[in-house]
Chains A and B, each alone.
Chain A
Amino acid sequence: MNTHVKPSKLIKGATGDWEVIIGLEVHAQVTSRSKLFSGASTLFGAEPNTNVSLVDAAMPGMLPVINAECVAQAVRTGLGLQAQINLRSVFDRKNYFYPDLPQGYQISQYKSPIVGEGTVIVDVSPTEQIEVGIERLHLEQDAGKSLHDQSATDSFVDLNRSGVALMEIVSKPDMRSADEARAYVSKLRTILRYLGTCDGNMEQGSLRADVNVSVRRPGEPFGTRCEIKNVNSIRFIGQAIETEARRQIAILEDGGSIDQETRLFDPGKGETRSMRSKEEAHDYRYFPDPDLLPLEFDQAYVDELASALPELPDAKKSRFMKDYGLPAYDAGVLVADKETADYYEAAVNYGGTKRDPKLVANWVTGDVAAYANSVGLAVAQTHLTPAQIATLVDLISEQTISGKIAKDVLAILISEEKEGDPRAIVEARGLKQVTDTGAIEAAVDAIISANPDKVAQAQAKPTMLGWFVGQVMKQTGGKANPQAVNELLKAKLGI
């Protein structure tokens, strides 16, 4: 995949072009009520150490029992990534000492993950689509959290996260720019949210990425990579890649070489710095966890989960293009967030009548999205309802109001009448478009007679028509049907 070099992606160095190679390990918290191997709650934001079972605290003699819901979520995710589902997988222990790791090992999947190779289709821009290969997905326990700010002399540990289920989703090194990596994570997050297998809240740590970056001259073999740990926003992922690529290029252009190591990204300083070298890397002493049997299920189980999967973004996009005649770009924007897509469809089909899908799309992705963005909400989270948008579009289509007036109505809906009916607003405020030709004609005649010099100019230069239209609209308070105004003016001016 993506083996041919795309010149537009190359970074210009002092000594020539460089290609950036990126692979991502995304840690996605599984949406589940309880933890991967215990019954403790996974609720975010609880008081420290309140969601901790005896198993999570690794008390002597405690044993893990797999949470079936987490297994189902991993399988659903695998299906959503068009990936191989492994009917037999094995949990291993990854051994290391750390205060937030109560067992002294993390239960993970090493040699036999639950999900194998898959594919994600990513829209990088309105005109560019790439495929990113998925290497594997495995289930593992999250660790707890060390708190260093509670006391001057001691560190504290909060085990609420300890044992929460994570899916580690490992991509192939198929990305060639920060933009591609950002678009991949966005798409992955969209898929997870559609599936309901991860809420994708990066600010709560539900989605984090380890970013592998290397650079090479176009056409050469892969360079030595560095892994940037635990990057927790899409913006930072992009910044970390660009920063790290430039660091590596600078070293190589100075005749140096890259050391394979783990690094941290500091968004404040805009730099990555070494965390540990290859020599300092842990020896995790992986071995199969003897407390757990291999995880086995049959194809019928997978088929059942597959049959209950929701429509996924790619399929929805195709359907929007086919059923609603939307351009790929509009469809792509709408389906990026499932609730927005649902909102859009609810508006198009409101009241059991279908209205102009493109017009609805323009409003949802345009003015409505702009408002939502300005208040930091998703479209579906705003108080604007699909019914209001549908009615607004109906009013335009019926030629009851112009598009310009519709914007005014939307502003009223946003600021003044939160549950207002656009039709009633138009009625009450007298915003109805004037289609009575008599009234418009009177206005036209008045303008023409008052401005003989402009009439002469317009007859010589027809683009002056716009000035007349503006004057008529002004006179009619914006309510005149623009089409009628145009036609009347053209006839009367003889242009």
Chain B
Amino acid sequence: MTELTDLTLADARDALRQKKISSAELTMAYLAAIEKARPLNAFLLETPDHAQAMARACDERIARGEAGLLEGIPLGIKDLFCTEGVRTTAASHILENFVPPYESTITANLWRDGAVMLGKLNLDEFAMGSSNETSYFGPVISPWRRAGSTAPLTPGGSSGGSAAAVAARLCLGATATDTGGSIRQPAAFTGTVGIKPTYGRCSRWGVVAFASSLDQAGPITRTVRDAAIMLRSMAGYDPKDSTSVNLPVPDYEEVLGQSVKGMRIGIPKEYRLDAMPEEIGRLWDQGIEWMRAAGAEPVEISLPHTRHALPAYYIVAPAEASSNLARYDGVRFGLRVPGKDIAGMYEETRAEGFGKEVRRRILIGTYVLSAGYYDAYYVRAQKIRTLIKQDFDQAFDQKIDAILTPATPSAAFGLGEKGAKDPIEMYLNDIFTVTVNMAGLPGIAVPAGVSSEGLPLGLQLIGRPFDEQTLFALAAVIESSAPPVSLPSAWWA
């Protein structure tokens, strides 16, 4: 063991329980790493005092033999989760100085189980983006670089801070959220594991809303086991969220290493895009082979409405966002820019408080819900959503246990490379992931290889509703079959 920060979450948990290390020293190691990694801009707020106090309390509980599931584990929190008494910004100017007097259910669950908060992580503003470039506080810079290049790359988005922090060893795991791919795409871009659980598995209470019917929280971690451990703590029924589902949370770790023999793995033919780089196709084929080698049976399936998913998503999500973001009006909290009358104050506040991409989506959402366009856009998009769900239902009816696809259509790209002229270019990042949100299914991204430029590439597994266990079992197969992720060297330190 060279560095404390090289331990995985599972290793650290075990070492803490065996009192080989203390949470205090582990936490100090991470705080030091975070300080050195400020050029990555992964943290919007470091909370060292908070972290050290929590770590001391953890060590006391461990000494008393009262360790929780995550006792003493230092985590990063996406700055979309409200944390009591700790500034929560959603990476937006409009919430720049917002300090919630309440704690989100998910973070409360993590603290209940003994986790330690290191700070709040950068993201795309209100989680709207695929490159972390829409953050009011500047983009996150990926710890990864192309071979032989120093050009700054995106860690993906919207959970770019979470993915970068985990990949750069700045925390043992991070909370993230996923509305159209915001956990899985950054995980794939940074060689980390990210799972978006089934809609309703994790409470949305206290998480700043983007698109309520699509938003779902999950962890980003270094390994599949770490994700399994962290999700168990995050998940659970919450009576404060009417869309949360009252089902027991299994011990996801138990399924790791279990045989996947005889499982039928759906390979959706519509996901093989013409414009897809060849290396993505090869990665997918490799994944199929690994499945076969593990005794699972790849089966070609059809998800015929896939091509309508992205356009439909970019109607549903902005529609909900336009309404969800109406509360940022300068009246009760957050930024207020005076105007000549109340309408003027709204206009000034929202024009200054929201960034370009957020304003764009509010406008799109307002448009598609307005009289005369509602049926043509919103209603049709909802119909497509139903058809996409039916596609998956029919696949699962053919005794398919999970579906394997690429996680992203490419490796990470450079900052400023995409979407400047045409936002659609950026939106295409979500092509493999949005269908999963539209259908409310669980999806996991696992590192599976590297691109020709030496950047991580990921595969995605999509599961039946509330069958995250199968995803973890299959993801563990990919993880053990794929060449080990070679860490980015700490060029920033």
Among B418-453, those with CB < 8 Å from A are none
Please determine whether B323 and A93 come into contact, CB atoms closer than 8 angstroms. yes
From 182 to 207 in chain B, residues with beta carbon under 8 angstroms from any chain A beta carbon are: 204-207
Q: Name A61's contact: one of B209, B243, B323, B369 (CB within 8 Å).
A: B209
Kindly state the interface size class of chain A when it binds its partner.
Answer: 20 to 34
Contact B242 A64 (CB under 8 A): yes
Which of B46-54, B95-103, B158-166 has 4 or more CB atoms under 8 Å from chain A?
Answer: B95-103
B211 at the interface (CB under 8 A from A): yes
Asked if A275 CB lies within 8 Å of chain B CBs, one says no
Bound Cα distance from A356 to B384, whole angstroms: 72
Interchain nearest-CB distance for B397 vs A (Å): 24
Interface of chain B residues 279 through 327 with chain A (CB within 8 A)? 319-320, 322-323, 325-327
Q: Mark A42-65, 1 if CB is under 8 A from B, else 0.
A: 000000000000100111111111
CA distance A54 to B105 in the complex (A): 14
**Quick one: given A61-B207, A285-B323, are A102 and B331 in contact (CB under 8 Å)?**
yes
Bits for A277-307, please: 1 = Cβ < 8 Å to B, else 0: 0000001011100111100000000000000
Contact A104:B323 (CB < 8 A) given known A54-B102, A60-B88, A285-B366: yes
Interface status of A66 (Cβ within 8 A of chain B): yes
From the candidates B240, B241, B332, name the one contacting A57 in the complex (CB within 8 A).
B332
Q: Which residues, 84 to 104 on A, are CB-close (under 8 Å) to B?
A: 93, 95, 97, 99, 102-104
Q: Within 8 Å CB of B102, what residues of A?
A: 54, 59
Q: How far, in whole Å, are A61 and B202 apart by their CA atoms in the complex? A: 13
B residues 312-348 with Cβ under 8 Å of A?
319-320, 322-323, 325-327, 329, 331-333, 342-343, 346
Question: Does the CB pair B82–A60 fall under 8 Å?
Answer: yes
> Which residues, 337 to 377 on B, are CB-close (under 8 Å) to A?
342-343, 346, 366, 369-371, 374
Kindly provide the distance from the CB of A35 to the nearest chain B CB, expressed in whole angstroms: 14
Contact A65 B208 (CB under 8 A): no
The listed residue (B319, B327, B342) touching A58 by CB distance below 8 A is B327
Question: Given A93-B323, A95-B326, A104-B329, do A63 and B378 touch, yes or no (CB 8 Å)?
Answer: no
A99-B331 contact in complex given A59-B100, A60-B208, A291-B243, C-beta closer than 8 Å: yes
CA distance A218 to B400 in the complex (A): 68
Q: Which of B213, B342, B346, B366 contacts A290 (CB 8 A)?
A: B213
B82 and A61 contacting across the interface, CB-CB below 8 Å: yes
A60 proximity list for chain B (CB < 8 A):
82, 88, 90, 95, 98, 100, 208-209, 327
Q: Are B205 and A61 in contact (CB under 8 A)?
A: yes
Within the complex, the shortest CB–CB distance from B243 to chain A, in Å, comes to 6
Q: Does A265 contact B (CB under 8 A)?
A: no
Minimal beta-carbon separation of B87 from chain A (angstroms): 12
Interface centre among A57, A97, A290 (most CB of B within 10 A): A290
CB distance from A102 to the nearest CB of B (A): 6
CB pair B374–A285 under 8 Å, yes or no, is: yes
Report if A414 contacts B (CB, 8 A): no
Question: Chain A interface (Cβ within 8 Å of chain B)?
Answer: 54, 57-66, 93, 95, 97, 99, 102-105, 155, 157, 283, 285-287, 290-293
List, sorted by A's number, 20 A–B pairs whose CB atoms are closer than 8 Å: A60-B90, A60-B95, A60-B98, A60-B209, A61-B204, A61-B206, A63-B205, A65-B242, A95-B322, A104-B323, A104-B325, A104-B327, A105-B326, A155-B342, A285-B369, A285-B371, A286-B369, A287-B369, A291-B243, A292-B243
